[in-house]
Amino acid sequence: MSTLRTLSALSLSLLLLCAATSGSSAQSAPTVDGLLPLLITRGEVPAAALLFRDGTGSRASTSYARAGTGISRADHFRAGSITKTFIATIVLQLAAEQRLSLSDTVERHLPGLVRGAGNDGRALTLRSLLTHTSGLYDFTAASRGSVPLTPLQAVRLALTHSPAPIGLFSYSNTNYVLLGMVIQQVTGASYATEAERRIIAPLRLTGTSFPGSRTTLPAPHGRAYATDGSDVTDLDPRVAGAAGEVVTTLADLDRFYATLLGGALLPPRRLREMLNTRTAHGSYGMGLFPVKLSCGTTVWGHNGRISGSYVRTAATVDGRRVLTFRVNTTAIADPGLEPALLAAEFCPRTS
């Protein structure tokens, strides 16, 4: 779909959404220039940006749009839980290399760590961590996502709480903090080092990094705002760790998801496992989740929320078409805008 047709369709979808909310009749679609202002007006965010990628390799075309001030295409920003797709990819690569098995217990790699309050690493597999079916409590619910913690501190905080039933889908950042620790145990290197070696450098994701304890963003970058309007641009990424540390750009996220879903980072069997949602009862694969749009099309990707930033990447299952959008605050006030954005990009346009 051309940029103009895509954005026009998106404009129409959002306009119809507005009309349904207000009870007024639909009017003609707004111009492309009016699209993202509509997003930030209805979403009550300071600024927003989108980058579309269509095609593969050097023949891929991209189109960019933004609204609001203080945001640009080249900005570095925090991408929160999109980090989980990177971590899951590394774990699946290690499984393909037979350096671990997804059926391994957590106890095998982190002996004695997951114990207490009804939690038992001997009963949990790496697959249960990847699919959020371990039942482990989400440490960020206790820390409120604002307290920098070491991985060990994060896990110990989670283990002061009783788990949910094993086998049920229950999203928990603790799962991916543990997977980060498993990566280090298996490889002898940090998850950040392995991400650089296995993903960031080979894909030339020059705007992507795992900052550790560095509180500042690389240049260029804009400002980031909490929901109360306070400036939270400087942030200690250890509030999220392996569950949400990554800093990146719009272009890098589009390239990463296009390459991953295109099959260049994982063998076919492991990519199929990543996309298999059976363990999580249709809710989640491994570092990816599906969304079925109003037209019946299913897109794959992840979202990321961290103080001062909300990001969403979605792609066709073959990775040929990818959309990433971001706002420079913690959340979009109107949740109906996200599915409208995705449907406008990925659903066929009707005349």
Could you give the residue numbers annotated as active site?
A: 81
Beta bridge partners of 119: 116
| 69 φ, ψ (degrees, to nearest 5) | -110, 155
Q: Which tokens is 218 given?
A: 């690389």
Q: How many CB atoms lie within 10 A of CB 123?
A: 15
- CB count within 10 Å of CB 2 equals 11
The answer to whether residues 331 and 274 touch, using CB atoms and an 8 Å cutoff, is no
Q: Which of 76, 48, 78 is nearest to 304 (CA)?
A: 78
Question: Cα–Cα distance between 117 and 156 in angstroms, integer?
Answer: 11
Tokens of 122: 């001997």
Residue 94 CA to residue 168 CA, distance in Å, equals: 25
Quick one: tokens of 253?
């996220």
C-beta separation of 326 from 319 below 8 A = no
3-class secondary structure, 283: coil
Please state whether beta strands 61-67 and 77-78 pair in parallel, antiparallel, or not at all (unpaired): unpaired
Say which residues have a Cβ less than 8 Å from residue 350's Cβ, sequence separation at least 6.
Answer: none
Query: Is 222 in contact with 47 (CB distance < 8 Å)?
Result: yes
CA 65 to CA 4: how far, in whole Å?
Answer: 11
Which residue is it, tokens 């959309």? Answer: 323
Tell me the two tokens of residue 82: 């999109």
* Burial class of residue 272, CB neighbours in 10 A (0-12, 13-18, 19+): exposed
Cis peptide, bond prior to residue 348, ω within 30 of zero = no
